[in-house]
Structure 1
């Protein structure tokens, strides 16, 4: 499968790219600074550019069967603006123009899915995030809405506490109040879950919470 990855130079994005290549996929990565990706492969195409560069986004999406986005907002309190939200809108618009429908991305349980039941995370996480990372929370809401308000065939994995521990291979997924989903999850397992959604149809147009 030909997969375009956004956020490829981040901690989760690099793992997504590497696992896709290990699985035999053709990968295109849009990165602002190619040296940060630190990966080379015969099946990896690196496009240099920013999310605000529509031509670069179009180029990165050319010929893609699906998109995996490891984009996320900065947690620096000094960060302002809506760069990630605007960039996600650009990606969605380019996907629609090129008739690419499958989008797989990330969010947090601060944002509820309609299939959730009432849960403490709906109350506690938005308050904590609003106090500690107000711009990041606004960005997360904006980038999620850019996808869910579109006609794309999306799956957005909601993660709470990513860690750098080794992959466990044990992944829980589901909806708050229904399924036993915890908080901590290794970044390697997050990457594996995102890739699994290329062929898994359980969570089409849904936002499952995931954990180890």
Structure 2
């Protein structure tokens, strides 16, 4: 397995890199990052980690990072002070074109409850969360909505999974359940390690292709 991880300098991305190395001890992890110095030193020194420095606008470097890759997992997500213009979704539009060009079909993208799924049921907790984000962090809300739209439309021929997450924590558990908003088992807390464990397992399990599961820690 040769895996490209986007957003690998943040806590969730670092968790993805570590889990990928654990599950695929003979594989290769390509980390595409604007600031690779933020990647922990032990990962920088790991011979199985290939680090490529570049921005979301440098598509030639993105294409270089895609060379011989089997799948892409993105931990890119908006910040509370996200700039306008949906830069991540715009990048995904270009990335999807490159995925088709290189015949890379497996793509996991990060999202939140702001991206609705037809299987969702009513939930006052998640409705309140989305309303709060839409009100207080409008650009972040717009970014997630745009991410969902570009992946499900332009990326409709990919084997995509939109991995939706609630509040993220740095606790140690990897216990994770997946479902849809409104399911009794779906809560509001998820550790980053559980997020990483779900994503790396889902690459080959393929239980959620062309869907948008909401994941959380098991009760």
Deviation at residue 3 of structure 1 after TM alignment: 0.5
The residue aligned with 1:114 is 118
The Cα offsets for residues 87-132 of structure 1, whole Å up to 9 and x where unpaired, read as 1222111111111000012111122111222332553232111111
**Would you say 1:160 and 2:147 are equivalent positions?**
no
Q: 3-state SS of the aligned residue for 2:205?
A: coil
Q: Aligned pair count?
A: 210
The residue aligned with 2:54 is 49
The residue aligned with 2:65 is 60
The residue aligned with 2:152 is 148
Deviation at residue 82 of structure 1 after TM alignment: 2.1
Q: 1:182 to 1:122 in 2, by over 3 A?
A: closer
Quote the RMSD (CA, aligned, Å): 1.5
Structure 1 length-normalised TM: 0.93
**Would you say 1:207 and 2:187 are equivalent positions?**
no
Query: Which ranges in structure 1 are unaligned for 5 or more consecutive residues?
Result: none
| Kept after mapping to 1: 8 A contact 2:174/2:191 | no
**Would you say 1:81 and 2:80 are equivalent positions?**
no
| Kept after mapping to 1: 8 A contact 2:31/2:51 | yes
Query: Which ranges in structure 2 are unaligned for 5 or more consecutive residues?
Result: none
The residue aligned with 1:192 is 197
Structure 2 length-normalised TM: 0.91
| Kept after mapping to 2: 8 A contact 1:16/1:191 | yes
Deviation at residue 210 of structure 1 after TM alignment: 0.5
**Would you say 1:124 and 2:122 are equivalent positions?**
no
Deviation at residue 179 of structure 1 after TM alignment: 4.9
Deviation at residue 18 of structure 1 after TM alignment: 1.4
Q: Distance in 2 between matches of 1:119 and 1:200?
A: 28
Q: Distance in 2 between matches of 1:32 and 1:169?
A: 28
**Would you say 1:70 and 2:75 are equivalent positions?**
yes
The Cα offsets for residues 36-61 of structure 1, whole Å up to 9 and x where unpaired, read as 11222111111110111110110111
Q: 3-state SS of the aligned residue for 2:78?
A: coil
Q: Distance in 1 between matches of 2:146 and 2:84?
A: 13
Q: Distance in 2 between matches of 1:192 and 1:87?
A: 25
